[in-house]
Chains A and B, each alone.
Chain A
């Protein structure tokens, strides 16, 4: 059975991170499995964790009255879910629900924050990696807003 440090090494988010940092972070992590329909996160609940998805698919959702849960995005193996643990008030912004059996690593946010405070170099490296992910997600959300496949792109209005 692989250790958490070995699993971290295989996940794209932590690849190329120095081995000592991976082992340092591994102390905050544990293996997790979610069955279809299980929630990894609930909107408004304390965001204590951060998930590395190893396999399976997760829906990021929000509940809209009279419509039900609307899926904004799906996340699959090799991706991460959750950065609400990084900033106060440390609460989830959206629901995250397993669409199929999900294998992942759950990292404790408080533990990670403390390690980043004591190891600023590691903290900076992690921030750079999160910044890249948030930039990618922002770009994807902007493209999604364009409604590219509609008759007329819908986001914004044409510049004068």
Chain B
């Protein structure tokens, strides 16, 4: 009874009462449907098969199904997919600023490197006389 092209009525969910066509048989329990309903996977138990069989290929596109429905005088309401609201993006800093910042960082790092070296030298100097004293 359930085959590709079989006209059905959906009996469960928010598409209940709408007509659809089996587009693809997925396994023994599930089929892919399209038509007045949304194109979606559907349990066979949620379909009531009708007498008619529409000539469509397996995995037929939505436009193919709509054209077949028009031949049967069945209206298909076209709904536009909702556009997802844009997320606020973080504004990237300009490249020039980055280079300036980098230059600053580099100069800071160089200064840091120089300072400890200078301190070490001082320490060494201070230690040497002490060591002499010990001797």
User: Are A and B associated in one complex?
Assistant: no
Chain A: residues with CB nearer than 8 A to chain B?
none
Residues of B within 8 A of A (CB): none
